[in-house]
């Protein structure tokens, strides 16, 4: 495959010559197996957490866990998986595949941010009910690094910003992925650098949010709702789902870096020749 061919594959589903001829390599079978494992684990983790939250009637932290798991684990993971599915593309077409990818990505952001808003609102309500209460947050690996004590009711906007729940880094990258995806859809889908940024934001955002999910099993909510061995199982399955979901996307991301570097080197040669003249 030439450099120009690879450049056209940025953020597109590219088939190898073997796939186009109807045959598949060992790598194809490997990634297909990983996708199957990812679908099973993402669905299973989401169902388990959602079921527990529904039993708790979405009270308190259960509401936050409910929406964040659906948005950041299931929708985000599926958005990555379906975008790289050549079989799904052959079934519904590239245009519909792009739309499905966009819908899942948009739902991941909206539903996940809804879960964050719930937790933020609960902390602000607690402070309003008891002005002397010390609202502590960002004190664990589940949250953003650092800590904040909201003891000044007049600084409500600071309480709103610093009381954001875990995954703030992942949310920032997810927002970048959504905005760059919208730019690709409405402005131009042929901008190579924009495609690269979209993949970068999406991949890093997913990894950060899944790490946050794993740390979430160690929070007070996780310890109260599940036994220690159940927490370990959740962390193990979430870790495996993270690897199996992101490995193909990571492979394409590294290939994109190679393409961009190759293009910059090849484009620099004529300029250098003119300068020597």
Task: Decide: helix, strand or coil at residue 151.
Answer: coil
Mean pLDDT of 76-81: 95
* pLDDT at 178 exceeding the cut of 50: yes
Check residue 188 and give left, alpha or beta (phi > 0: left; psi -120 to 50: alpha). Answer: beta
Domain membership of residue 259 as a residue range: 29-127+153-271
Give the Cα separation of 256 and 200 in Å (integer): 10
Q: Which residue has the higher pLDDT, 212 or 130?
A: 212
Count of the separate structural domains present in the chain = 1
CA atoms within 13 A on the CB side of 144: 14
Mean pLDDT of 254-269: 76
What band does 164 get if pLDDT is binned at 50, 70 and 90? Answer: very low
What band does 261 get if pLDDT is binned at 50, 70 and 90? Answer: confident
* pLDDT at 158 exceeding the cut of 70: no
Residue 233 lies in a domain: yes
What is the pLDDT at residue 136?
A: 55
Residue 15 lies in a domain: no
Question: Across the chain, what does the average pLDDT equal?
Answer: 78
What is the pLDDT at residue 156?
A: 44
What is the pLDDT at residue 148?
A: 38
* pLDDT tens per residue, range 87-102: 888 899 988 999 999 9
pTM given for the model: 0.77
Sort 79 into a burial class: Cβ within 10 Å, 0-12 / 13-18 / 19+. buried
Instruction: Name the token pair of 10.
Output: 């940025």
Residue 105 lies in a domain: yes
CATH code of 267's domain: 1.20.120
What is the pLDDT at residue 125?
A: 78
Residue 1 lies in a domain: no
Mean pLDDT of 129-137: 61
Residue 13 lies in a domain: no
């Amino acid at each position: 495959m030439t450099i120009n061919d690879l450049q056209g594959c940025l953020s597109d589903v590219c088939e190898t010559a073997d796939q186009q001829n109807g045959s598949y390599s060992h790598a194809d079978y490997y990634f297909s197996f990983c996708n199957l494992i990812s679908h099973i684990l993402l669905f299973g983790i989401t169902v388990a957490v959602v079921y527990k939250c529904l039993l708790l009637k979405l009270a308190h932290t259960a509401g936050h866990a409910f929406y964040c798991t659906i948005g950041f684990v299931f929708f985000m993971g599926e958005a990555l998986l379906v975008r790289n599915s050549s079989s799904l593309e052959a079934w519904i077409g590239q245009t519909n595949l792009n739309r499905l990818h966009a819908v899942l990505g948009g739902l991941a952001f909206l539903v996940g941010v809804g879960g964050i808003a719930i937790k933020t609102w609960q902390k602000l309500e607690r402070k309003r009910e008891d002005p002397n209460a010390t609202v502590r947050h960002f004190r664990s690996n589940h949250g953003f690094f650092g800590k904040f004590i909201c003891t000044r009711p007049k600084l409500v906007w600071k309480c709103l910003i610093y009381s954001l729940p875990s995954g703030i880094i992942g949310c920032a990258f997810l927002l970048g992925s959504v905005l760059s995806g919208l730019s690709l859809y409405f402005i131009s889908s042929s901008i190579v650098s924009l495609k690269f940024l979209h993949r970068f934001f999406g991949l890093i955002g997913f990894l950060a949010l899944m790490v946050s999910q794993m740390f979430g099993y160690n929070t007070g909510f996780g310890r109260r709702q599940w036994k220690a061995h159940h927490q370990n199982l959740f962390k193990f399955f979430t870790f495996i789902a993270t690897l199996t979901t992101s490995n193909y996307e990571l492979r394409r991301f590294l290939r994109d870096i190679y393409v961009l570097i190759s293009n910059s080197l090849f484009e620099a040669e004529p300029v250098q020749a003119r300068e020597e003249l």
